[in-house]
Amino acid sequence: MHIAFAPFRLREGITGQALLAASDAFERDFVRRQEGIVRRFLVKDARGGFADVVFFSDEEAMSRVVEAEQNSEACFAFSSIMDGHDSHSVFEVIKTYE
């Protein structure tokens, strides 16, 4: 399993409600249609920053989704409300505790 952690801030004038609406549309119109996405979280830190956290079944699934994002209107719409969303980190799960 692989995890993509993509921190961002909201563009000036974008409200929390607008973020949730855009995230819901992204989930509905893109994420749910992608094979290999296991789970997704939208998180907020104490300083007003946000991150999109996506769990993929494997590295190949992550690569397919990243490629599909390049031509997705839903991805463009979601990222258009973000400022500083170009940096992200990828982690490989080496052990889980449940």
2-92: which CATH architecture? 2-Layer Sandwich (3.30)
Give this prediction's pTM: 0.88
Long-range Cβ contacts of 12-18 (<8 Å, 24+ apart): 12/83, 14/81, 18/81
Question: Minimal CA–CA distance to 58: which of 23, 85, 90, 87?
Answer: 90
Tell me: pLDDT of 86 over 70: no
Q: Are 7 and 88 in contact (CB under 8 A)?
A: yes
- Compute how many other C-beta atoms are within 10 angstroms of the C-beta atom of residue 61: 18
Q: Where are the domains of the chain?
A: 2-92
What band does 30 get if pLDDT is binned at 50, 70 and 90? Answer: very high
